[in-house]
Chain A
Amino acid sequence: MRVTDKMIFERAAQYTGRAREQVERAVAENATGLRVRHPGDDPAASGIIVRRKIAHEKFVAVAEGANRAADELGMADSALSDLLASINRGYELGVQMANATNSASDRAAAALEVDQLFNSAIRSLNTEIGGRYLFGGVVDSAPPFDPTGVYSGSTTTARDVEVAPGIVETASLLGNEVALGASGGPNILTALTALRTALANDDTGAVSGALANLNASVKHLSDVRGRTGAMQNMFETAAEAGRLARDSERDGLADLTDVDVFEAASRLAQAQRALDAALTSAARSFDLTLLRKLG
């Protein structure tokens, strides 16, 4: 085939242009560390990147939410522990004061202590975190129990939290179920009140009568703590699962978006060598002309 001067120059421009384009691409890859900058770089990966980004945020939020729920249940369990301690102390006092060997003044003093135990129970049931009350269900912006033990929290609706995308579980306890017998258990506050009244009236019979309810309250609270612990475990497991899923999405994203540093450096070196070769061969081809030989 005839080779003309224009062909020589056009080809030189073409080949060096292509080589430069390869170098530019490699430089951009190395500088940004990104494999996929434009959807055209890898269409399938671009689509997956979009999905994974959204999924990553989802699992971050689910993990954080489950973690917070677990922490709150831990705090609720701590409050229940305090409540249980109050009931246990009440029971002890009841057992002690039911004995006829104690005097009326002993029982009066015990009545005062039981009064304090009642107040402590109310405080435990009004535990709050960040202005939100743990035992009010969804009515959580104000203390669920007033000083006399009247409940104003939600009677039916506990708070729910996601344990997995689209799956929610109950994450709080209702005060009326914990302390007022709404779930079929004993009314703890009534039991304490009854003991206090019996002690104040120096009525050993009534004191003995109050012990059964107090004992039942102890068992009930132990059950509630057990359930709370189970819920806390569930949310801790959910938080861990969320973190694993989050990490999986994050790692998957990195595999798609991030360039392999060594491969990118190698591609850059190759592209630079190719450019060098194109420039050298172009320069040499320009030299070979009869014009130079004939002078």
Chain B
Amino acid sequence: MDLIAILNLGASSLAAHRAVTATAGHNMANVNTPGYARQRAELVTRGAQFWAPSSYLGRGVVLERVTQARDRFIERQLPAVLGNAARSSAEAHALRSVNALDPDGPGGLAAAIGDFYSSARALSQNAGDMSLRRAFVGTSQRLALAFNRTAQGLEFARDGLDAELENMVAEVNISASELAELNAAIKSARSSGAEPNDLLDRRQMLVDRLAELTGATPINDGEGYVNIALPGGLALVSGVRAGSLSTVADPGLGGHLALQLTRADGTGPQALTAAQFGGRAAGLLEARDAVIGQALDRLDSLAFDLATGINLLHSAGLDLSGNSGNNLFTVPVTPGGAASTIAVNAAIVADPRLIAAGRNPGGGAGDAWNLFRIINTETANLATSGVPAAATLSRITADFGAATRRAEAVTVQDQTMADHLHAMREATAGVSIDEEMVTLTQAQRAYEATMKVISTADQMLETLMQLR
């Protein structure tokens, strides 16, 4: 091997070790970059040169490629796990944020029901007393207001979840669009024969994020694209094209938002059900409709059945003037919205003499026969729930609490699993500063050694040049 070849050996070796240093530096710089997978500069020996009569002499080292450290097995499991963790977390957080059904909340429904029947009992002992009649009207109004406020609290929670869904949809669309662009960019970059590791990192991050948001799963096709499919099988990203989600107010959901998909090929929009989602979307929808929505429906039935039962009895009684009673409460004709609209009959509010406490015409101011019947509605089974009002409200509260508890328990499990897989991914793909420091030191030593080789070859060349 001639001296020039040794100098070339040195040059390529210096370049290789510079690449190692650069890669280590890149790793260290991105130690905290979300989604970054550490890169490895893989060196290979340069092809040897034949040195007559019977030897091959090496020609140093060269950078073969820069690869990412990723565990494909773990990467395959992560989207489902991330989706589950996001789903349960979203549901748990949403339910925990609802305080309308807190059992000890001031002005709560339990206290209002208790006060209503207490004042009815007090009035039954002196049915002609106007101050007691006004007190009864007052507690009736408080009962109606407690229903209104509880329903309002639940509706506000649902409205808040609608807003979160809208934000989520915006993020999904941006991420899907970017992922489609990355598919194109990565394919183009790969045409040079090298792996665009940073683009691959970014794409993987988007895959993870879409899994968290929608429960979508990535599907690698033969062309190097990563396609994204929603849990129902519909494609959100197909090659270099992205579909988009949108929201629409659904009368079937009381005006709350439903999701729809415009496909990657531009067709649609197609209405989607909650079952066609996972991830955060599913958690929000589950909380909004299956738990809070159901609690609200049951609350409406409670308000409707209680008011209707009381109204039936009140209308059959006689007021202080001996006239037939009217409805004590105003409610819609069907249970829907009863809790938010229930109110005391304005005529009775204006004139408590219209409270139909008695039964006999001319029966006397102290006739409280009808009031006792109204009091008995406290323990009467309601039409929808089949149990009395207190038990109905108890069940609504307990069931809501059980759903919250369940979601939180599942969140702990899902999050533990997600944390475990995260840790395993990080163990493979994460950057260890200590390791990079060792690599840097290694590369630096090798660089210094190679400089020595170059220096020695240079001196040998100079010696040769000085021969006369």
Contacts and interface: CB of A to CB of B under 8 A. Distances in A.
Number of contact residues on B: which range applies? 35 or more
Given A34-B104, A165-B379, A141 B128 contact: yes
Given A3-B432, A5-B431, A65 B104 contact: no
Interface in B410-444: 419, 422-424, 426-428, 430-434, 437-438, 441
Interface in B1-50: 31-32
B430 A48 contact: no
B366 A132 contact: yes
A1 B408 CA distance: 30
A73 B427 CA distance: 84
B284 interface: no
Residue in A5, A49, A55 with the greatest tally of chain B CB atoms within 10 Å: A5
Given A14-B419, A39-B400, A42-B401, A141 B438 contact: no
Nearest to A49: B103
Contact of A162 (B121, B432, B434, B441): B121
A257 interface: yes
B364 A39 contact: no
A50 interface: yes
A137 B129 CA distance: 15
A38 B114 CA distance: 20
Contact of A39 (B31, B398, B426, B427): B398
Contact of B364 (A6, A62, A157): A157
Contacts of B104: 34, 36-37, 49, 257
A94 B433 CA distance: 120
B402 A61 contact: no
Contacts of B395: 47
A177 to B, nearest CB: 16
Interface of chain B, main secondary structure: helix
A137 B364 contact: yes
Residue in A39, A60, A294 with the greatest tally of chain B CB atoms within 10 Å: A39
B452 interface: no
Residue in B110, B129, B422, B437 with the greatest tally of chain A CB atoms within 10 Å: B110
Contacts of B96: 38, 40
B426 A6 contact: yes
Given A51-B394, A54-B114, A39 B401 contact: yes
Contacts of A48: 394
Interface string A1-34: 1111111011000100000000000000000001
Contacts of B432: 2-5
Nearest to A291: B433
Contact of A141 (B124, B366, B394, B430): B366
B118 A38 contact: no
A55 B390 contact: yes
Given A47-B398, A138-B366, A53 B101 contact: no
A243 interface: no
A159 interface: yes
Interface in A136-150: 136-141
B190 interface: no
Interface string A46-87: 111111011111101110110011000000000000000000
Contact of B437 (A14, A61, A139, A294): A294
A217 B350 CA distance: 49
A168 interface: yes
Residue in A34, A50, A56 with the greatest tally of chain B CB atoms within 10 Å: A50
Given A39-B404, A138-B358, A157-B364, A65 B398 contact: no
B276 interface: no
Contacts of B434: 289-291
Nearest to A257: B104
A160 interface: yes
A153 B397 CA distance: 48
B401 A54 contact: no
Contact of A61 (B118, B360, B389, B394): B118
Contacts of A62: 121
Given A47-B395, A51-B390, A130 B129 contact: yes
Contacts, number: 209
A9 B372 CA distance: 67
A157 B430 contact: no
A69 B124 CA distance: 11
A139 B103 contact: no
B228 interface: no
Contact of B129 (A2, A4, A39, A131): A131
Contacts of A14: 419
Interface in A273-295: 289-291, 294
A291 B28 CA distance: 11
A108 interface: no
B458 interface: no
A126 to B, nearest CB: 15
Interface string B251-269: 0000000000000000000
A138 B99 contact: no
Nearest to B117: A58
B427 A290 contact: no
A136 B32 contact: no
Interface in B61-85: none
Contacts of B390: 50-51, 54-55
Nearest to A140: B366
Interface in B290-327: none
Given A49-B104, A57-B117, A291 B437 contact: yes
B427 A36 contact: no
Contact of A138 (B364, B376, B400, B401): B364
A1 B398 contact: no
A246 to B, nearest CB: 11
Contacts of B423: 1, 7
Contacts of A88: none
Contacts of A40: 95-96, 400-401, 404-405, 408
27 contacts: A6-B32, A6-B430, A38-B96, A39-B398, A40-B95, A40-B405, A43-B398, A43-B404, A49-B397, A51-B390, A51-B394, A53-B111, A56-B114, A62-B121, A65-B125, A69-B125, A132-B126, A138-B365, A139-B363, A139-B366, A140-B365, A141-B366, A160-B372, A161-B124, A162-B124, A289-B434, A290-B433
The 3 closest A-B pairs by CB, nearest first: A39-B401, A57-B114, A47-B398
Interface of A: 1-7, 9-10, 14, 34, 36-51, 53-58, 60-62, 64-65, 68-69, 130-132, 136-141, 153-154, 157, 159-162, 165-166, 168, 171, 257, 289-291, 294
Given A40-B405, A132-B128, A291-B437, 20 more contacts: A2-B427, A6-B430, A7-B427, A34-B104, A36-B103, A38-B401, A39-B397, A40-B96, A47-B395, A47-B398, A50-B103, A50-B393, A51-B394, A54-B110, A54-B114, A136-B364, A137-B364, A160-B372, A291-B433, A294-B441
